[in-house]
Every structure is written in C-alpha cells, then in structure tokens.
Amino acid sequence: MITTVTLNAAIDKTYSVKSFEMDRVSRVTDMIAVPGGKGINVARVARLLGEPVTAAGFVAGFNGQFIRSGLDTEGISHDFTEVPGESRLCLTVLDADNGTQTELLEPGPVIAENSLLTLKEKVKELAGRSTHVCFSGSLPLGCPPSLYAELITLAREAGAEAVLDASGDALAAGLEAMPLLIKPNEHEIVRLLGRPASSDDDLAACIRELMQRGIRHVVVSLGARGALAGSSGRVRRVAIPAIRAVNPVGSGDAMVAGMVTALRQGRSDADVVRFGAACGSANALQKQAGVVTDEDVERIFRDITVTDY
C-alpha cells in the first residue's frame, strides 16, 4: 500500500461570502468542511486512482475527531497518532463578487517528545506494509527540522521508498536522508538552493544539482506551465494542455499521488511525470482540493507531451 504522513492535519473549511469586508459582519452563504493537509489530499487522490492507501500523522482534539470521521465517510483508511491539543482549522473565505480568497490558518498542536516517539514507531510499522511513504507539508511546532530525515530513514529501513513534498528548512533537512522523489514548486526549489532561477535553464541546472546529490526524481511543478522533471540523470519538459482551471489548490498533492501510483505500476520515468501532471491538472478542474476523476486524468494524460530538455 501507500502510506501518507500529514504531521499538521487540518480541517479545511471554506466559507462563501458575498462582498466580504474587513471590520463588518458577513453572512456565509455556503460552507464546506473536509479533512485536509497535504498528505490527506495525496491519500484522497491515491484512493480515487484505485490504490490501497493509509493516511497517518498527528491529530488532536475535536478537530482530530472530525478529521478521522470525515476520512471514514470518504472510505480512506487512516492510522493517526493522537496528541494533546487541537488540530488546525484552516479557513478560506471566498468572495465570488470580488474574486478574493482570504485564508486564516491556525498553528495546530505543539508536539511533545513522547508523541514523536509514538509517531516514529507508527511510521516504521506502516512502512513495513507499504511500497511508498509520502511525507507532505509543514512540521508542527515542537518537531525538529531533522524529523523528515529521521522518518525517511526509518521508512527505508522498513522496506519502503520515501517521497518528500515539503518546503523551507523541513525540505532542506529532509534531503539529507535522500528521499526517492521530491516535488518542489518553483519558489521552493529557489529557496532550497538559495539562488535565483530566472529561466527554465536555471531551474534545469538546480534539478541536475539535486540529482547529482543523489535524489533520483526531482520534479519541479510549474502550475499551468506544467513541469520540469529530472529522473535518473535526465531532465524533461512536461508540457500540459490548456484547461479551464476552477481551483488549483491541491494540484501539487494530486501530482504526488499520481507519480507514486505510476511508480507502483512500474511505468517509465517519462510516464511517471506525465501521469502526475495529468492528476495535477485534473485536480485543478474540481472545486475540492484532492479530487480527480479517471476520465479527466486519462483525457489530459493523452494531451501531455514529455520531451528531453
């Protein structure tokens, strides 16, 4: 199976409001609340693609119960580590009249040392039953920046390949453990290497550098421009068709789910990124983050070209 690890799981709540104004009372016309966090989105897409998947990580309090029961309703297996406190509520206020999107993100629980030990045992156990473990998103308060590196090493020792989709210090420190695949976007790879990348040539040089460090798949996603993907020493351009994007939030997570699914199916390096990009674009066609349909994925896949860069 695939295991996804979301250390800062959340309730993603979206309010639709007419003419949202600061310092005024606004009436919510529509509300949707779903389990969220990058790894949970990966799990949702992997399940929709037909893969056996378990979502893990930390949950806390009433919000944690909501996350678990929401995953039950969606039919997504989960095995979270319960910690004291309250899981995050991430609130998005959509104002269709003005086209604005305002986000309020709670910090989430502070993780104590004993909870870290419990999580490590859990990751070891789940990795022993998984082909791939995907680590996605930010580290909650209380977690050392080295945590992803430790978890990646544990997962590999238990027999699973590790995928890391994080940013900032968590990504930089996690790379030390040589995950199989990383999927930074443009901003994340620039920050990681600490130098500007003003052209695709610069990005390709960054990808080559990371492959030389020993990361087999370095996929830089470029939103509506597709991706530049490095695999086994070769860099490829992934050109995607134009689509009418509805909501690209979660497209990176859908891309990760697609790539892991394709890796499990033993597809070629070029088809791994092609399928991943198809899932990312299919996600952008849906209102909810982390949702794709087989028909969209297959149609977009056919229209994607992958060429040597």
If binding is defined by CB under 6 A, does position 1 make contact with ligand ADP?
no
Contact 76, 98 (CB under 8 A): no
* Residue of 280, 286, 290, 292 interacting with ligand ADP (CB under 6 A): 280
Question: Closer CB to ligand ADP, residue 41 or residue 130?
Answer: 41
If binding is defined by CB under 6 A, does position 224 make contact with ligand ADP?
yes
Binding mask 149-178 for ligand ADP (x = CB under 6 A): ------------------------------
If binding is defined by CB under 6 A, does position 3 make contact with ligand ADP?
no
Contact 82, 59 (CB under 8 A): yes
Question: Closer CB to ligand ADP, residue 27 or residue 244?
Answer: 244
Rounded-to-integer distance, Cα 248 and Cα 123, Å = 30
Contact 262, 298 (CB under 8 A): no
Q: Is 253 a catalytic residue?
A: yes
Distances from the Cα of 290 to the Cα of 198, 207, 230, 256, 269, angstroms: 30, 26, 24, 11, 23
Question: Closer CB to ligand ADP, residue 4 or residue 251?
Answer: 251
Stretch that binds ligand ADP, among 6-14, 68-76, 146-154, 274-282 (CB under 6 A): 274-282
Report angle CA 85, 249, 40 to the nearest 5 degrees. 45
Question: Closer CB to ligand ADP, residue 143 or residue 256?
Answer: 256
Helices 186-193 + 200-212 axis angle, to 10:
60
Binding mask 178-197 for ligand ADP (x = CB under 6 A): -------x------------
* Residue of 90, 277, 289, 291 interacting with ligand ADP (CB under 6 A): 277
Ramachandran angles phi, psi of 233, nearest 5°: 90, -10
If binding is defined by CB under 6 A, does position 259 make contact with ligand ADP?
no
Q: How far is residue 255 CA from its own chain's centroid?
A: 8
If binding is defined by CB under 6 A, does position 203 make contact with ligand ADP?
no
Question: Closer CB to ligand ADP, residue 17 or residue 45?
Answer: 45
Rounded-to-integer distance, Cα 57 and Cα 74, Å = 18
Ramachandran angles phi, psi of 133, nearest 5°: -120, 125
Q: Which residues are catalytic?
A: 253
